[in-house]
Amino acid sequence: MTNDTNEIILNVSGKTRKVRIPEGWNDLPTDKLLAFYDLLFTAPGDEFTASAFTSVKLLSIMQHLLGVGSEFLVQWEAQRIKGDPEFGALGFLDELRQTMHYAIKDLFEVNEADGVTTYAAKLNLTKNPWPQLNGPGKNKKQKQRAFYAPDDELANLTIYELGMTFSYFEAYLNTGDEEHAHNLIAMLYRPSRPITTKERESAWGGDRRQALRGYEGKIEERVKLVKTLPLLVRRVILFWFAGCRQQIVNTYPKVFKSDSGSGRSTNYGWGGVLLSIAEAGPMGNLNEVSDNHYSNALTYLSMKADEAEEARKKAEESSRKRR
């Protein structure tokens, strides 16, 4: 039985217990996040499509969320059959289905059409389970070296970094080529800039990582390290990136207006976007534009989209008046 909050009230054999269900993938502890992901997604790209997950797998997730075992389900079914020998079994299955859908409602989109139910993972994981990863050091004296991810929600990316990472992610989606995924992760995880008093006092200017622009030659070096990560870790990082990307796409719908939602439609890609902003002049030259926070550029593009739409409406109105 459920109420109108993110709780499920379990009541079987006179025993009542309230269970809090997650409000999204961010609510899951890392061990459950990894377990659920590993259970569901078996092939590259699964997590970004409306794949039909088996009821058995989703039932297993529900049991983990509610903290109940198979014996609990047996007891639940027996109680319903005892109360209604003829239709109790069907009533149990209906209750179980409703409970499962409620338990996973913030993790999966549930679509029911023509008697068929399909499930798609909600892209709402924006909290990175691994803000730092460790790899081998540069030499014998440095045994380990830390590599840092961008902030949660990709909050500290420049427009150049956003364009680069979005492009590689879209290439991965379109081709399924894991090399694009490896390059993407190598762009996200970067070593720290030199530790100085100025950097520490400025909190690294919001991002302690070595710059991406100007250091593109270092990406391939890190790709070799990325390939040594466990497959599950790499896949969950991509799932996190997909959630952050989706949040940005939703925030700037006038910029990301292609049918697929994969990004701004342009014949010249992200390089053309940067050049068009630099040519307009409001944010400086190409280098200055590239190093701007992505929100500045996307807000500017949203404003230009509004202006273009307003100009179109005025032109249509003027044309109608002339007729």
What's the mean per-residue pLDDT of the chain?
84
DSSP-derived 3-state class of residue 252:
coil
Residue 220: per-residue pLDDT: 95
- Which of 232, 262, 269, 233 has the alpha carbon at shortest distance from 246? 262
Query: Residue 138: pLDDT band by 50, 70, 90 thresholds?
Result: confident
d(CA 164, CA 170): 10
Residue 258 pLDDT more than 60?
no
- Ranking 24-33, 228-237, 313-322 by mean pLDDT, the lowest is 313-322
Least confident segment among 49-53, 160-164, 227-231: 49-53
Taking residues 164-177, report their average pLDDT: 91
Give the predicted TM-score (pTM) of the model: 0.85
Alpha helices in 176-218 (DSSP H): 178-188, 197-201
